[in-house]
């Protein structure tokens, strides 16, 4: 299957709200006065506070994604990002179709047919087990490659952290592809917040992993 990600919903005027929050902390203005602030002024304030590392204000902006065509291996990594909300298709209640992800390295190694043959054996066993035990128990035999669907909601601050970790070449290929697709979507609706988002080698000119052999390793 092919990875698919959609931006299902997001906070209307999330950037304006975040900028208002930033201005509020250093202003005697009322909330109503803040609403009347010049939009360009607010965007400049937002750029300034993000650059200064004061990112708590962008927690007011939320984004919800619909993600499909991904493996359980990916979602096991995704849910480690704790400040988020997740709703995933249940293997307890939904019988798994014969849909799975094939890592590019499997194809490059010339092992694709061997991989597919094994997947077919697993699903044959799964179908036989479902006749004897509950679906929720038969699922134990399913592989990490099994496809799933998940809805994810994150605030903008959590997304910036997610992009730093998962857009990096050190991240596994599947979740990295997802992260870059998500980043492309949010940049369209919140360009100020995410204009410098991405891995730290691109945004901060540093490599926390100190992977000097990485092709993205920042030049001095």
Q: Count up the domains in the chain and report the number.
A: 2
The residue-averaged pLDDT of 114-123 equals 98
Q: What is the pLDDT of residue 119?
A: 98
190 Cβ contact list (under 8 Å, min separation 6): 10, 14, 15, 61, 63, 156
Confidence of residue 30 (pLDDT cuts 50, 70, 90): confident
CA distance 167 to 152: 17
Indicate whether 63 and 18 sit together in one domain: yes
Indicate whether 63 and 36 sit together in one domain: yes
The answer to whether position 193 is within a domain reads yes
Indicate whether 8 and 57 sit together in one domain: yes
As to burial, measured by CB atoms within 10 angstroms (0-12 exposed, 13-18 middle, 19+ buried), residue 195 is exposed
The answer to whether position 75 is within a domain reads no
Of 181, 140, 174, 142, the residue nearest 159 (C-alpha): 181
The answer to whether position 23 is within a domain reads yes
Q: What is the pLDDT of residue 203?
A: 87
Per-position DSSP letters for 142-172, written without gaps between them: --TTBEEEEEEEEEHHHHHHHHHHHSSTTS-
Question: Other CB atoms closer than 10 Å to residue 96's CB: what's the count?
Answer: 23
Percent over 70 (pLDDT), the chain: 100
The single residue of 82, 166, 176, 205 carrying the catalytic annotation is: 166
Three-class SS state of 21: helix
Indicate whether 153 and 60 sit together in one domain: yes
Indicate whether 40 and 12 sit together in one domain: yes
Is residue 155 pLDDT above 90, yes or no?
yes
Q: What is the pLDDT of residue 216?
A: 85
66-113 pLDDT, tens digit each: 999 999 999 999 999 999 999 999 999 999 999 999 999 999 999 999
Give pTM, 2 decimals.
0.93
Indicate whether 137 and 157 sit together in one domain: no
Token pair recorded at residue 154: 């994150």
As to burial, measured by CB atoms within 10 angstroms (0-12 exposed, 13-18 middle, 19+ buried), residue 120 is exposed
Confidence of residue 220 (pLDDT cuts 50, 70, 90): low
The answer to whether position 218 is within a domain reads no
Establish whether 176 is a catalytic residue.
Answer: no
167-204 pLDDT, tens digit each: 999 999 999 999 999 999 999 999 999 999 999 998 88
Q: Which CATH number characterizes residue 21's domain?
A: 3.30.1360.170
Confidence of residue 39 (pLDDT cuts 50, 70, 90): confident
The answer to whether position 88 is within a domain reads no
The residue-averaged pLDDT of 41-62 equals 94
Give the range of the structural domain holding residue 168, as residue numbers without chain letter. Answer: 4-68+148-203
Q: Which helix (H) or strand (E) holds 67?
A: strand 62-71
Check if the beta carbon of residue 199 is closer than 8 Å to that of residue 206.
no
The answer to whether position 217 is within a domain reads no
The answer to whether position 177 is within a domain reads yes
CA distance 19 to 58: 8
Indicate whether 8 and 64 sit together in one domain: yes
């Amino acid at each position: 299957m092919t990875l698919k990600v959609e931006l299902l919903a997001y906070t209307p005027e999330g950037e304006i709200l975040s900028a208002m929050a930033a201005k509020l902390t250093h202003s005697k203005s009322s909330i109503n006065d803040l609403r009347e602030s010049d939009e360009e002024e607010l965007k400049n304030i937002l750029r300034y506070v993000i650059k200064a590392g004061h990112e708590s204000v962008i927690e007011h902006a939320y984004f919800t994604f619909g993600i499909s065509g991904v493996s359980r291996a990916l979602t096991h990594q995704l849910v480690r990002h704790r400040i988020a909300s997740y709703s995933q298709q249940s293997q307890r209640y939904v019988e798994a179709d014969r849909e799975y992800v094939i890592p590019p390295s499997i194809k490059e190694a010339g092992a694709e047919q061997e991989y597919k043959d094994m997947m077919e054996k697993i699903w044959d066993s799964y179908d036989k087990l479902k006749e004897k035990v509950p679906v929720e128990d038969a699922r134990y035999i399913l592989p990490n490659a099994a496809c799933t669907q998940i809805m994810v909601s994150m605030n903008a601050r959590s997304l910036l952290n997610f992009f730093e970790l998962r857009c990096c070449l050190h991240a596994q290929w599947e979740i990295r592809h997802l992260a870059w697709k998500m980043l492309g979507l949010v940049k369209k609706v919140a360009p100020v917040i995410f204009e410098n988002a991405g891995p730290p080698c691109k945004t901060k000119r540093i490599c926390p992993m100190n992977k000097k052999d990485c092709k993205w390793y920042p030049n001095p």
